[in-house]
Structure 1
Amino acid sequence: MGTFRGVLEVNNVWVRYSGSGKPAIRGVTFAVKTHGLVLITGPNGAGKTTLLETCLGLLKPFKGYVRLLGVDTRSWTFTRIRRLCSYVPQDFMKPPHESFTVRQVIAMGLAPSKYPFEPISSNELWMVEEASKLLGIEDLLDKPIGKLSGGQQQRVFIARALVRRPKFLFLDEPFSSIDRESRGWLAKLLRWYVDSAKALALVVSHDVSPLNGLADAIIELRDGVLSRVRCFRECLSSPT
């Protein structure tokens, strides 16, 4: 398995989408040694979402490797590691006819830790309510998700990601539909969560301002390559 260098290792990673000649990311290398809040930024088309989904194991590199807790994301054993992860994609919006309630959507975040068709316990219902309070949406619990605004839906899916207190949090543009006044509040919430749960959060955002002074490291991509890395705390390095 090689030398373990941290909770997340990205080593000379190249990823190409099917049918595309040019790799979406090329030669990306870094390692996160401990829990923290890491921002991935860059212009449109830089490869931010590709890198995030590769770190989560949704995309497989054709060259190099990604390891989470020392386990290669291409390994069948990685399914056990993924249970420690929560992901909020960029395309989270549900159509107006979607009838699941906010309570039901947040409860879906508990699924990786449950058996199929296992009923939700009273303690898990409490966890759902606590997650809703954390995001300020407790008054929306019985409303259909499709009837909510974009910003409200985004809060719901972040609550779903946090409900089981994951050790790894992957967020793709979590500020995109949140009003400007609330972005700083959400960034501080993510900082609090990372510290209290000793978790690692990888956050993709083209807007760095909400996380200014809160991120432990900023990874900048440009045209699929790592263009700049800024570390503000001893949490990130490049493996040798």
Structure 2
Amino acid sequence: MVGIVGPNGAGKTTILTVINGLGRLLHGEATVLGYRMQAGRRGRDFRLGNAARRMRTRIGFVPQGQNVDPRLPVNVREAVMIGRYGQMGLGRRPKREDWQLVDELIELVGMTPLAGRPFGHLSGGEQQRTAIARALAQEPEILLLDEPTASLDWRSRQDVLELMYSIHRARGLTTLLVSHDPRETFHLCDRVVLMRQGLVFAGGSPEVVLSDANIQEVYGISPLCCHAPGHVHNHEHEEEADRLRLI
């Protein structure tokens, strides 16, 4: 699980759009799941090709707050099924096994009691849980999370973070988490990338990257006390409760 952190405008979301085959490179190249994207190729846009579409079927994406019109006539179960269409293909109707997978994922994210509720009538935390289930319905190899706790209250943030971590651990799913809050990634992620002004400022273990000096340099404010001086987390053996606690 890799965290991508930095202040607003640092380029965090831009990285996710490139990985998801939705962003166009201006310089250099990137390789994702064996697909090579290059900048400056005359007359060709990777985003519009069949390779990009195939790549996106292998990547689950959870955007920031959903901001859905409550009049939208789609319930939780139907919203999660949207994630299956990349695997089924356009124009094909869901089969029994598709609905069975959807129901299993709804149960996984704790939304079974609300499976028939209109998506637009859900709370922010409930919408994010549904969005996570929808992304998992693609059966992805990579899960991208773009500030999934933005605009959520503290309790909902905790619930969503715990859910993401448990899914990552249980499924061994490569997960990239974008966050503006270094504390979230410190307690959840195995590795962290700290960005500033479109560039990678530091990358590595949370204990090293999210040092007081780096936080001060990148955010321009006093350190946020991600960890106590001299304290190092053991990411392999520590208790989950300790990893998920936000200071």
- Give the TM bin, normalised by the shorter chain: 0.7 to 0.9
Matched, 1:93 2:57: no
Aligned to 1:218: 192
Q: CA deviation at 1:157?
A: 0.9
Aligned with 2:164 (options 174, 190, 211) = 190
* Partner of residue 108, structure 1: 82
Aligned CA-pair RMSD:
2.0
CA distance in 2, matches of 1:220, 1:80: 30
**Alpha-carbon separation, structure 1, partners of 2:140 and 2:100:** 17
| Structure 1 counterpart of 2:143 | 169
Select which of 153, 170, 176 maps to 1:179: 153
Which has more radius of gyration? 2
Shift of 1:90: 1.7
* Contact 2:2–2:177 (CA under 8 A) maintained in structure 1: yes
Structure 1 portions without partners, runs of 5+: 1-36, 234-240
Unmatched 5+ stretches in structure 2: 39-45, 208-247
For residues 21-62 of structure 1, what are the alpha-carbon distances to aligned partners after superposition, in whole Å with 9 as ceiling and x for unaligned?
xxxxxxxxxxxxxxxx11111111111111111121111111
2:34 aligned with 1:60? no
Quick one: percent identity of the two aligned structures? Answer: 33
Question: 1:149 and 1:185, CA in 2 relative to 1: closer, same or farther beyond 3 A?
Answer: closer
Judge which range, 179-188 or 88-97, deviates more: 179-188
Equivalent residue number for residue 50 of structure 1: 14
Q: CA deviation at 1:160?
A: 0.6
Letter in 1 for 2:162: K
Q: Which has the higher helix share?
A: 2
Count of residue pairs the alignment pairs up: 197
**Alpha-carbon offset, residue 183 of structure 1:** 3.0
Distance 1:129 1:139, change over 3 A: same
TM-score of the pair, normalised by structure 2:
0.73
Q: 2:113 aligns with which of 133, 136, 139?
A: 139
Of structures 1 and 2, the one with the larger relative CO (CA 8 A, separation 6+) is 1
TM superposition outliers: structure 1 runs of 4+ over 2 Å: 73-79, 181-199, 208-214, 230-233
| Alpha-carbon distance, 1:113 to partner | 0.4
Q: Which has the higher strand share?
A: 1
Deviation track 1:44-90 (CA, whole Å, cap 9, x = no partner) reads 11111111111211111111111112211464423222211111122
Offset at 1:179?
3.3
User: Judging changes above 3 Å, is the alpha-carbon distance between structure 1 residues 229 and 223 closer, same or farther for their aligned structure 2 residues?
Assistant: same
Q: What is the distance in 1 between the residues matched to 2:124 and 2:163?
A: 19
SS state at 1:119 partner: coil
Paired letter, 1:68: V
Task: Flag the 1:158–1:166 CA change in 2: closer, same or farther, 3 A.
Answer: same
What TM-score does the superposition give when structure 1 sets the normalisation length? 0.75
Q: Counterpart amino acid of 2:177?
A: V
